[in-house]
Structure 1
Amino acid sequence: MSGSTIIPWVVGNWKMNPMQANSQQLIQDLKQQLKQNPISEQQCRIGIAPISIALLSVQQQLLDASCEILSVAQDLSRIAGTGAYTGEVSAELLKDSHIDYVLIGHSERREIFGDNVNVIQEKVKNALNAEMKIIYCVGESLEQREAGQAEQVVLQQICDIAALVKAEQWNNIIVAYEPIWAIGTGKTASPEDAQTMHAKIREGLSQITPLGAEIAILYGGSVKPENAAELAACADINGALVGGASLNAESFYQIAQAFAKSK
């Protein structure tokens, strides 16, 4: 089942980068690229996930962009609401600041910061209860892929949240497939391998919800201008979650343009 009619998404995950002055310049450069060569929202949806202390300033700076660029939180708290939780930012606080999108389950959160299944489930539940939209990250390690467990691992990660998502809430889910071995390494799954996994994810989603054919599935893992068009041509790859290349406005724009032209 193909997701070829889905409007693509290209989201830049800045991770723990950059410094404030560089952030401001990066946004200015991206807006200039889009002003010179527009990409409509019907061609490709664009988002930026900056560090938490820059979310509101980036959001403000994006208001006068020539097309809508969404501000995306990189994470949120497993704790809901407000209270005595030093260092935490809840779904409700994000929503109150008009941040409607959030990444959950990124491999760096899982691997480095101990976001296990229970933590991820709490975050998903909180985001959905606050009526946020989730970019839910899944992916296998090199060891799991070499052991032939890649599909099993990724589909299990989908199943980990399935019971938490009400029938109508699947409209608020975007899936991002990021093979862990390709994140920040310069290695990329071949378009054929990526498409195979995306098709398997779509098959799994379609068994869970009638909306499975409509859910955007993004590819992440060293996406760059040189491989974007080839990835974008795959029927079930509906966009990209971009790491390092999103810290260069021209590179990020070229990736968005590749997906805008492909569908």
Structure 2
Amino acid sequence: MPSSKPKPWVIGNWKMNPETPMAQQQLTQQLIDQIIHDPASDMGATTLNLAVAPTFLHLLMVQQQLQQAKSPVQVVAQDVSRFAGTGAYTGDVSAQLLASAGITITLIGHSERRSLYAEGAVVLREKLQAAVKAGLDIVFCIGETLSEREAGQAEQVVLQQIAEVFDSVSLQDWQQHLIIAYEPVWAIGTGKTASPDDAESMHAAIRTGLKKYHPSLVDVPILYGGSVKPDNAASLAACANINGALVGGASLDAGSFIKIAQAFSHNCKAG
């Protein structure tokens, strides 16, 4: 268990959704209405960190809309280039470009990037280095497949995913700029969710693994991702080692996303 439970993070990963700029604006406005214009939502930056990750195409549009509404919701990049600065890297967006646009957080290592784009340890190390050099905070995603879990290798796999990149950035960067998101691959977009006991057990193992590198890393926030929904959010939020959620499909419905966020916000207040 962390020495003091950190303020939770609830991040909505919109992936390649919604389809049109208008739909992006509508979803963003629905979030704003839920948080700011509905006093019953009881949401704010004091009880949790709330964020969404739109597509690169709509990243700055969503950021501007949230800022104009004075919303506490932050904007996260879904990925970042392994290459720094500017240059002949067609299709990439570097950490410096994100930082210059006011984006301060990025996902790295999401299971879809690992599986669909064959991103392995070398690429992930370079992305981590590029991100911290530009001053970005990082949500580093780890998780096992169903076959790895059934073979009894789940803990070994996720701890190895950390070990493969750990020395690519400094201990200070881990202390100040890293968040872990445990996302069992078999639970992403499948409707299956790790039970609260299974999720808590894995989060505790990750925390113990981090502590072995340095005692201070016991306080690194660890989020759960994998078919998080309003009906399981409260039980996940109650787990001592789960410090928030990386939400996929449910984040595309503002009402569902806010209910998940409320579960973690209320648990934080109760604690």
> TM (normalized to structure 1)?
0.97
Contact 2:84–2:96, Cα closer than 8 Å, also in 1: yes
Q: What's the secondary structure of 1:200's corresponding residue?
A: helix
Counterpart Cα distance in 1 of 2:120 and 2:142: 13
Cα RMSD over matched residues?
A: 1.1
Q: Which residue of 2 aligns with 1:58?
A: 62
Counterpart residue type for residue 126 of structure 1:
A
Shift, 1:214, TM fit:
1.6
Counterpart Cα distance in 1 of 2:260 and 2:149: 26
Shift, 1:211, TM fit:
2.5
Q: What's the secondary structure of 2:163's corresponding residue?
A: helix
Shift, 1:2, TM fit:
3.5
Query: Are 1:208 and 2:213 an aligned pair?
Result: yes
- Where structure 1 has 5 or more consecutive residues not aligned to the other structure, the ranges are none
Query: Are 1:31 and 2:36 an aligned pair?
Result: no
Contact 2:35–2:44, Cα closer than 8 Å, also in 1: no
Counterpart Cα distance in 2 of 1:42 and 1:216: 16
Q: Which residue of 1 aligns with 2:2?
A: 2
Shift, 1:212, TM fit:
1.6
2:202 counterpart (197, 202, 207): 197
Contact 1:39–1:67, Cα closer than 8 Å, also in 2: no
Deviations 1:202-261 (A, max 9, x none): 111111133322211000000000100000000000000000000000000000000000
How many residue pairs get aligned? The number is 263
Q: Which residue of 2 aligns with 1:134?
A: 138
Q: Which residue of 1 aligns with 2:13?
A: 13
Contact 2:4–2:219, Cα closer than 8 Å, also in 1: no
Deviations 1:109-156 (A, max 9, x none): 000011111111110110011110000000000000000000000001
Deviations 1:24-76 (A, max 9, x none): 01111111111212312221100110000111000000113454211100001
Query: Are 1:227 and 2:232 an aligned pair?
Result: yes
Counterpart Cα distance in 1 of 2:265 and 2:135: 27
- Where structure 2 has 5 or more consecutive residues not aligned to the other structure, the ranges are none
Query: Are 1:119 and 2:132 an aligned pair?
Result: no
Counterpart residue type for residue 180 of structure 2:
V
Counterpart Cα distance in 1 of 2:2 and 2:240: 6
Counterpart Cα distance in 1 of 2:133 and 2:192: 37
% identity of equivalent residues? 55
> TM (normalized to structure 2)?
0.95
